[in-house]
Structure 1
Amino acid sequence: MSEFSNFCRIKLMLAKIGGYSDLPYESEKSLPAHIRRQAMMRILDQFLYPTKSHLQLEQMISGMLRRGYLSRNIATPDYHHNLEDVDHTDFSSIARNAGNEALVSSVIGCSGTGKSTAVEAILQTYPQAIYHPEYQHSQLVWLKVECPHDGSVKNLCTNFFRAVDLALGTDYQALYVKSRSSAESMLGSIARVSALHSIGLLVIDEIQHLEKSRSGGSAKMINFFVTLTNVIKVPVLFIGTPKALELFQPTMRSARRAAQFGSLDWGRFARAGADRGDGEWEQFFKRLWKLQWLENPTPLSQEIMDLFWEYTQGIAHIAVALFYLSQARAVVADRNAIDRPLVTKVYKEELAMIHPMISALRSGREETILQYADLDIPRESLAARTSLPEMPYIPNDGEAAEQADISKSTQLISLLIQMGIGEDIAPSVADQALAENPNDSLFELVGHIKNLEERSVDMPVQKTSPRKSKKPSPVYVEDDLRLVQGEDPEMTYQALRKKGVIIELSAYL
């Protein structure tokens, strides 16, 4: 698959699952408040803003899947060799250093930044189970297992069999998980099931929970997964918070040196400087702000964007939650505006539990941030890990020759058509984007095309019965002073003073 085709596939997938398809219908904005609140919950379930990190993650997963299957073709003797290797391997007595297999990688980042959501969205583009009738073989393309919160290695093994049963309709959990079964006794069964069903990619989520396990169980489990890649070539992808780095350092350091796919550090959204245009945070928030179920949407202002940054520090999950809660309260209270006093009140009342973590990030002091293990990756931990060059976004030699004859304009037009832009207007849209941003990549150009953000115009509008009486709703404009007014007179005064609309009489006395 060429780089451009791969780009189209991941972009279309993210557009379908994420922010391009979940704009509210116009008819929904006039529904009763309690129904609108239910409708806007789609923001929490479906909103996903694609970035360069998503494309890099897709390339990593795609490469691990294909690379892992090279030596595991069920139509060749390799499949049976894998089963024999499992039978002759004692997984219950794994050495301390599990080797340097290149098919082990990780996605490490701050809690709430969307790591698991991104991985799940990408995995959904592949069929999870494929049955090959000519070989009577049930293939598992991918399997995602979550570590239990108590860090129990035995429960992790149980979760593995349960996930296989859900995907294939088997009964491995009843077969292998007994009351007297130990984690060590189940490792060999996990390896055999993985080889038997040709698991293409094993994803272990919330790996930092293993840190709670005692008696060296976490290190043994990490060694087991790495050995799994050595013996039967099953790629393993770990997802976790910075706390997981302590688990990886003894075992995974040698693997980092040989890793072909690298390790992805999934950070918070970055904020651009004053003279550098829109950064990832600005693009993300502008897209999020359009998802309003208000009859007269509140215009976005720099003040409200700065306020959300102050309260979320670029963590996507918190930003989405704060936006939803603020909008829900505005709808239920029939305020029809998301203003500074409302957002502040919601943050103080409904997100009080995260105030210490946000304050730590806001301070920028490393010693304060390190008090919370699920926040940013510590610099010394990053320095201790073997750094790898960032995955290139350029195709290989064969693909470069294939794309040499395709101009950026042609590629962009083709991409826009596949994403739903009409063939008649796609060329003009592409020309305008290229004229404004001639040096941007295809991925960046898509972000600048505002037409994609207005696709809801083409959606069918459901007819609703007219109301008997309708309360007139105000229409707000940019920098509307009515949005500044709140219940607290002091806050309102300070906000108006900041905007320069209050005259200090003392200067004239």
Structure 2
Amino acid sequence: MNEEYINLKGTHCMASYITQILPQNQGNPFIETLPNRLNEEEFIDVLHSVPPLINDYELLSIEDRLEFVQQIKPSFWLPYPAHYDKYRNLYTMIKIGYQSRNPMHAMYNRQFALGWDKIFKAGIDENGANLAGNVQTAQSHVEIAISGSGKSKVYERMLTQLFPQVIHHSEYNGRKLPYTQIVWMKIECPFNKSVGALCKNFYYEVDRLLGTDYYEKFGEKKGRLDTHARRMIKVATQINLGVLVIDEIQKIQKAYSGGEEDMIDFITELVNTIGVPTVLIGSYKALYLFNDSLANTRRGIPDEFSENITGYMLKDSWEWREFIHNLWDSQYTKTFTKMTEEILDTMYYHSMGIPDIAVKLFMHTQSRAIVSGGLETITVNLINEVAGRSLRLLQPIYQKIRNGDAEGYYQLEDIQPDWLPLRGYIQEASHRLKVYGNLAEQQQMALQQRNKSELLEKLTSFAFHIVKSRNVAETLSKQVFDASDGKGNVDNMFAELARLALDIKAPDHKEDLPISTGILPQQKKPRKRIKPVLEGKDIRYLVAVGHQRGMTTEEALEESGLVRGCDELNDFILSRGGIS
């Protein structure tokens, strides 16, 4: 670091330029000074972190080993392929955001000449161009995840370890370039405060990095939302900000922010007006910001908005097993306890696959084993005992999740989202949306619900080719669909439908309409819901299907051969010598 910047915070460096392959990035000093992109293997090598483990650690005193145990949480971090996807997206966002902000182009200076107040007030036209005629290339991204999943930590590690924070330019291709470039900046939303308070945090962080006095100039000044936005936009343009990361966005409260739409609109202005890429990070509580307001906002940037929603790790997932096995190596007990399936299941039961909880439980269990003395072995009983004390406040919450207690979801926003509005949100999302962890399966169910009518028609067409009766085909299709509320595996639905349809030999009905018309006759409401578990020759099943075809119970049983007519019965009795 240059001595001139030694008292400033963040990583500072002088600009060093790298030739770019992509034409859109060539000749742009803000882009050419960025480090080269890492491949996945390099990414894992750089970010993988484990606590220190010295030789003969078991000979250390109890207090020394307990001190090592306390270093597990800040030191242990395991990157996943999903983390590399986030890095790739972040790296691309920064470069693309700078494409429309090239200091070597006349457009860059034209915007300063016009004034950012005028540009902000004018907004953008139907082509996305601002008053100066510049079309911004910035992208925005939202990271919503369960509390304790490490969503903030992954961005902190990527930004601090893979990107310089402040780059100082002096000359580029023989031309003076006296600019300072802040590649990234991360701020946190203040609790129960307004967008104005968020701006104060922004000014404070800029002053901390550059030694400026923006907070003194603008921090305590009052004003409307658009006034705050204009001031912050001015500062963001002057520091040539590459990406703004806003953490804990769930802290923005409706009562203080003037409504969730104000917050989203404010962020959108940063993206659209000056082209600053923005990453929003929050827990499930932040979903209220996007359920309604984002549906309107994202229409302006449909191709540039992406989102990740992450739940807890699944018990049988590769991520969970890889995580816990790597964590398990960091033992400082006298006896090294090998991982077993029983221990793996117990750790998952008490942590619900949430990394932060799993790490804390592992640390507490180790500490208890060390303090208790003896062989210092980690056992299932010890894990249960420690969890019963250290995690006693969480266990009622986890039990509700295990039991599928939908009524408790509103109380568990940080652990499990209220899935009904989230499901609707996913159905309507037109932007790039990725869902990870336990929510991935639920996302597929939500998307399947969106295609309910289409799926029912496919099931009906399939069944019609077997039973040759439109009414029966519709009944069977709805029966199979309703059995899983439309959430079952589609292949299994068709297999079950084929089994049921093949057990029925229904005659053609003149009132049935051909499949090609696409017109469905009015469906008669069954007297009792039929479950797919009933066998095809079950009397209850045969009677119910008969009712659907307008038959009486007796007619349905007679057709199936289970009830004989009176004449048949008399002949049978006489053949047996009459009634004695």
- Report the number of matched residues: 381
- Give the aligned partner of residue 223 of structure 1: 265
CA contact (8 A) 2:145 2:309 kept: yes
CA contact (8 A) 1:151 1:211 kept: yes
CA deviations 1:412-461 (Å, max 9, x no partner) are: xxxxxxxxxxxxxxxxxxxxxxxxxxxxxxxxxxxxxxxxxxxxxxxxxx
- Give the aligned partner of residue 51 of structure 2: 22
* Residues 217, 78 of structure 1: alpha-carbon distance in 2 compared, 3 angstrom cutoff: farther
CA deviations 1:79-106 (Å, max 9, x no partner) are: 3244346221457999xxx999871210
Counterpart secondary structure, 1:262? strand
1:64 equivalent in alignment to 2:93: yes
2:315 counterpart letter in structure 1: R
Q: CA deviation at 1:14?
A: 4.1
* Residues 324, 73 of structure 1: alpha-carbon distance in 2 compared, 3 angstrom cutoff: same
Aligned-residue sequence identity (percent) comes to 30
- Give the aligned partner of residue 285 of structure 1: 324
Q: CA deviation at 1:32?
A: 1.3
Q: 1:328 aligns with which of 363, 367, 371?
A: 367
Q: 1:191 aligns with which of 185, 210, 233?
A: 233
- Give the aligned partner of residue 155 of structure 1: 197
CA contact (8 A) 2:185 2:245 kept: yes
Task: Please give the alpha-carbon distance, in whole angstroms, between the structure 1 residues aligned to 2:277 and 2:309.
Answer: 19
CA deviations 1:461-504 (Å, max 9, x no partner) are: xxxxxxxxxxxxxxxxxxxxxxxxxxxxxxxxxxxxxxxxxxxx
CA deviations 1:396-426 (Å, max 9, x no partner) are: xxxxxxxxxxxxxxxxxxxxxxxxxxxxxxx
- Give the aligned partner of residue 82 of structure 2: 53
- Give the aligned partner of residue 316 of structure 1: 355
Task: Please give the alpha-carbon distance, in whole angstroms, between the structure 2 residues aligned to 1:167 and 1:7.
Answer: 25
Counterpart secondary structure, 1:105? strand
- Give the aligned partner of residue 242 of structure 2: 200
CA contact (8 A) 2:302 2:431 kept: no
Q: TM-score by structure 2 length?
A: 0.60
Task: Please give the alpha-carbon distance, in whole angstroms, between the structure 1 residues aligned to 2:233 and 2:414.
Answer: 31
Between structure 1 and structure 2, the one with the greater Rg is 2
Task: Please give the alpha-carbon distance, in whole angstroms, between the structure 2 residues aligned to 1:41 and 1:91.
Answer: 52
* Residues 42, 382 of structure 1: alpha-carbon distance in 2 compared, 3 angstrom cutoff: farther
Task: Please give the alpha-carbon distance, in whole angstroms, between the structure 2 residues aligned to 1:114 and 1:11.
Answer: 21
* Residues 105, 9 of structure 1: alpha-carbon distance in 2 compared, 3 angstrom cutoff: same
1:374 equivalent in alignment to 2:409: no
- Give the aligned partner of residue 209 of structure 1: 251
CA deviations 1:249-289 (Å, max 9, x no partner) are: 333225277134621112211222xxxxx622111111111
Counterpart secondary structure, 2:309? strand
* Residues 82, 310 of structure 1: alpha-carbon distance in 2 compared, 3 angstrom cutoff: farther
* Residues 372, 225 of structure 1: alpha-carbon distance in 2 compared, 3 angstrom cutoff: same
1:128 equivalent in alignment to 2:168: no
- Give the aligned partner of residue 119 of structure 1: 155
Q: CA deviation at 1:369?
A: 3.0
Task: Please give the alpha-carbon distance, in whole angstroms, between the structure 2 residues aligned to 1:7 and 1:357.
Answer: 42
Counterpart secondary structure, 1:143? strand
* Residues 143, 102 of structure 1: alpha-carbon distance in 2 compared, 3 angstrom cutoff: closer
- Give the aligned partner of residue 284 of structure 2: 242
- Give the aligned partner of residue 268 of structure 1: 312
1:233 equivalent in alignment to 2:275: yes
Task: Please give the alpha-carbon distance, in whole angstroms, between the structure 2 residues aligned to 1:187 and 1:92.
Answer: 13
CA deviations 1:106-132 (Å, max 9, x no partner) are: 011111111001111111211111011
* Residues 221, 369 of structure 1: alpha-carbon distance in 2 compared, 3 angstrom cutoff: closer
CA contact (8 A) 2:244 2:278 kept: yes
Q: 2:425 aligns with which of 379, 384, 388?
A: 384
Counterpart secondary structure, 1:193? helix
- Give the aligned partner of residue 116 of structure 2: 86
Counterpart secondary structure, 2:187? strand
- Give the aligned partner of residue 12 of structure 1: 42
Task: Please give the alpha-carbon distance, in whole angstroms, between the structure 2 residues aligned to 1:22 and 1:34.
Answer: 17
- Give the aligned partner of residue 502 of structure 1: none
Task: Please give the alpha-carbon distance, in whole angstroms, between the structure 2 residues aligned to 1:77 and 1:102.
Answer: 19
* Residues 43, 294 of structure 1: alpha-carbon distance in 2 compared, 3 angstrom cutoff: same
1:177 counterpart letter in structure 2: G
1:39 equivalent in alignment to 2:68: yes
Q: CA deviation at 1:150?
A: 2.1
Structure with higher RCO (Cα < 8 A, 6+ apart): 1
Q: TM-score by structure 1 length?
A: 0.68
User: Where do 5+ consecutive residues of structure 1 fail to align?
Assistant: 273-277, 392-509
Task: Please give the alpha-carbon distance, in whole angstroms, between the structure 1 residues aligned to 2:293 and 2:326.
Answer: 41
Counterpart secondary structure, 1:293? coil
1:121 counterpart letter in structure 2: R
Task: Please give the alpha-carbon distance, in whole angstroms, between the structure 2 residues aligned to 1:340 and 1:157.
Answer: 49
Q: 1:360 aligns with which of 396, 400, 409?
A: 400
CA contact (8 A) 1:10 1:122 kept: no
Task: Please give the alpha-carbon distance, in whole angstroms, between the structure 1 residues aligned to 2:77 and 2:312.
Answer: 14
1:258 equivalent in alignment to 2:302: yes
User: Where do 5+ consecutive residues of structure 2 fail to align?
Assistant: 1-19, 22-34, 130-135, 172-176, 435-580
CA contact (8 A) 1:101 1:226 kept: no
Q: 1:144 aligns with which of 180, 186, 206?
A: 186
- Give the aligned partner of residue 454 of structure 1: none
1:263 counterpart letter in structure 2: E
CA deviations 1:309-357 (Å, max 9, x no partner) are: 1111111111111111111222233242111222222212222232232
CA contact (8 A) 1:153 1:218 kept: no
- Give the aligned partner of residue 337 of structure 1: 377
CA contact (8 A) 1:208 1:244 kept: yes
CA contact (8 A) 1:211 1:247 kept: no
CA contact (8 A) 2:100 2:137 kept: no
* Residues 186, 30 of structure 1: alpha-carbon distance in 2 compared, 3 angstrom cutoff: farther
2:230 counterpart letter in structure 1: G
Task: Please give the alpha-carbon distance, in whole angstroms, between the structure 2 residues aligned to 1:126 and 1:10.
Answer: 16
Over the aligned positions, Cα root-mean-square deviation in angstroms equals 3.1
